[in-house]
Amino acid sequence: MQKSKHDLWVGLFVMIGAAAVLFLALKAGNLLSLSFEDTYSVVARFDNIGGLKARAPVKSAGVVVGRVGVIGFDATTYQARVQLDLEKRFTFPKDSSAKILTSGLLGEQYIGIEPGAEEKLLAGGDTIGMTQSAVVLENIIGQFLFNKAADAGASQGGKK
């Protein structure tokens, strides 16, 4: 009788631990969103989305106001087409802007919305006109190295 009581407690402890690990894995993978709010979709086009993924947060003033929906490629404009699923309780002016930002130096990417000043509000199906693409660290490093090599070549050529 005593042994079965210990087995029950150990089994319960293992089940709670497994549920906690599953919860953390889903949270870390950005697959767990406990929002059941109604949403409306708007579209934003970017020249480069970097490592942005579906289900990434959409934030305004640091508050999560929605999630990234479908990411696709527009073959006519040669840009990335990103669908933003915003919660209906958050409304933004039509002249709002969207930019791809990074949490920390090498953290996850998300979309930040900066509200505009127009009186008309974004509605489902609208397109955000002003966007800023992701800053790609590899491009910045490559540009820095190219500039350093050009500076070194210029100083070598003038020393004859």
Query: What is the tens place of the pLDDT at every residue in 100-144?
Result: 998 877 778 999 999 999 999 999 999 999 999 887 777 788 888
CB-CB contact of 41 with 124 (8 Å): yes
Structure tokens at 70: 């479908």
Q: What is the tens place of the pLDDT at every residue in 44-73?
A: 999 999 889 999 999 999 999 999 999 999
Q: Tell me whether strands 109-114 and 97-102 are parallel, antiparallel or unpaired.
A: antiparallel
pLDDT for residue 82 is more than 60: yes
Q: Is the pTM of this model over 0.85?
A: no
C-alpha span between 138 and 32 (Å, rounded):
30
